[in-house]
Amino acid sequence: MSATVSVIVPTYNERDNIPELVRRLDKAMSEAGIEYEVVVVDDNSPDGTAEVAEELSKEYPVKVLRRPGKLGLSSAVLDGVKVAAGRIIVVMDADLQHPPEAVPRLVRAVLEGCDVAIGSRYVRGGSVEGWSAFRKLISKGATLIARVLLPQARHVKDPMSGFFAFRREVVESGDEMNPRGFKILLEVLVRGNYGRVCEVPYIFGTRLAGKSKLGTSEIINYIVHVLNLSPHYVRFMIVGGIGTFVNLGVLLALRAVGLIHAVASAAAIEASVLSNFELNDRWTFRAHRSGGRLGRLARFHLSSAAGIAVQWGVSNLIYYELLQNSLIAQLVGIVLGFVVNYTMSKKFVWGLGKH
């Protein structure tokens, strides 16, 4: 007898929560007539969560996966998927902030054709209970960052949700997931293979017992994680933004020591080309490096030539023909040069086609 649905519950020090979670889940699933199993993925919790879960497995369909130490939430979920038997995977927290009674609705959404069904606090009918204004702000800010930087999250109201269900093929036939980080749903949305995403409202409750594991370091990790998930053009733009500072800094410095605009402008452009190359090679297109570094550097110069020509031409045209402001002239040049640069270098330096 194999279960249709596997509910993956990552745990770290959740001894006091897991019995009530399992009881309520069992009741909700039996009432809905859904065959299920629970997969508790415990990271050797010092409070003995795993033993409590083992005890529950005598009475309920509970599997316990024990890992040697605290290896993180995302990797716990991915390891849980490997031992799960269900066609449909549900991910939820152990602390009852995700109501077990809402699980059947998520499952039903998947059965009705959603590849990914997200338990959502930010669609009509959903909400959060007992959060300070500060915690709300953090959550909204993080949500905004994800929606701005990740095209796949743009239409999702609650991409930060830790409560969701999906057909297992979504992760099995998609790109390799990164097991680090806290936001497994973002991984699924960016690297998964799916068509339809739905959001199902629920009310995010207060923790039953114990405390949250989300701290400052998680926030920093989060931003790094989102940037690493972002598409090439976003990273190329961030690199270009940094390059702009390099460019303008060098320009102002050289003008200050008395160089004429034409020369200072050229040197500043070269400085930014070098810094852009380093960052794009080590970060933006890291996974697409082939051949020697010097070869790529040379090709980056060649493929930037058009962009550089546009930059330098526009900058000098504006400076000498339109208005004598070095900064404005250079800035307009940079913006127009950017588009040319991205298109050319993506293709000719790191060998990527159109996407």
Q: Is 100 in the site for ligand GDD (CB under 6 A)?
A: no
What does 12 bind: ligand GDD, Mn ion, none (CB cut-off 5 to 8 Å by kind)? Answer: ligand GDD
Whether residue 172 contacts residue 89, with contact meaning beta carbons closer than 8 Å, is answered with no
Whether residue 183 contacts residue 191, with contact meaning beta carbons closer than 8 Å, is answered with no
Binding mask 14-43 for ligand GDD (x = CB under 6 A): x--------------------------xxx
Among 151, 144, 212, CA closest to 182: 212
What does 139 bind: Mn ion, ligand GDD, none (CB cut-off 5 to 8 Å by kind)? Answer: ligand GDD
Q: Is 99 in the site for ligand GDD (CB under 6 A)?
A: no
Q: Is 120 in the site for ligand GDD (CB under 6 A)?
A: no
H-run or E-run covering 72:
none
Whether residue 88 contacts residue 114, with contact meaning beta carbons closer than 8 Å, is answered with no
What does 318 bind: ligand GDD, Mn ion, none (CB cut-off 5 to 8 Å by kind)? Answer: none
Stretch binding Mn ion (CB under 5 A), from 51-59, 88-96, 253-261, 312-320: 88-96
Among 3, 6, 7, 11, binds ligand GDD (CB under 6 A): 11
String of DSSP letters for 207-241:
-SSS-----HHHHHHHHHHHHHHS-HHHHHHHHHH
- In the complex, least distance from residue 139 CB atom to ligand GDD, rounded to whole angstroms: 6
Q: Is 49 in the site for Mn ion (CB under 5 A)?
A: no
Among 124, 105, 115, 110, CA closest to 189: 115
Q: Is 115 in the site for Mn ion (CB under 5 A)?
A: no
Q: Is 95 in the site for Mn ion (CB under 5 A)?
A: yes
Stretch binding Mn ion (CB under 5 A), from 55-63, 74-82, 90-98, 131-139: 90-98
- In the complex, least distance from residue 188 CB atom to ligand GDD, rounded to whole angstroms: 12
User: What is the spatial distance between Cα 214 and Cα 72, in angstroms, rounded to a whole number?
Assistant: 11
What does 244 bind: ligand GDD, Mn ion, none (CB cut-off 5 to 8 Å by kind)? Answer: none
- The residues that bridge with 98 in the sheet, in sequence order, are none
Among 226, 233, 227, CA closest to 347: 233
Q: Where are the beta strands (DSSP E) in the chain?
A: 5-11, 36-42, 62-66, 88-91, 116-120, 127-128, 164-167, 197-201, 203-204
Q: Do β-strands 36-42 and 116-120 pair in parallel, antiparallel, or remain unpaired?
A: unpaired
- In the complex, least distance from residue 217 CB atom to ligand GDD, rounded to whole angstroms: 12
What does 158 bind: Mn ion, ligand GDD, none (CB cut-off 5 to 8 Å by kind)? Answer: none
Binding to ligand GDD (CB under 6 A) within 53-82 occurs at: 70-73, 76
Residues forming the site for ligand GDD (CB under 6 A): 10-12, 14, 41-43, 70-73, 76, 93-95, 97, 139, 160, 162, 182, 212-214
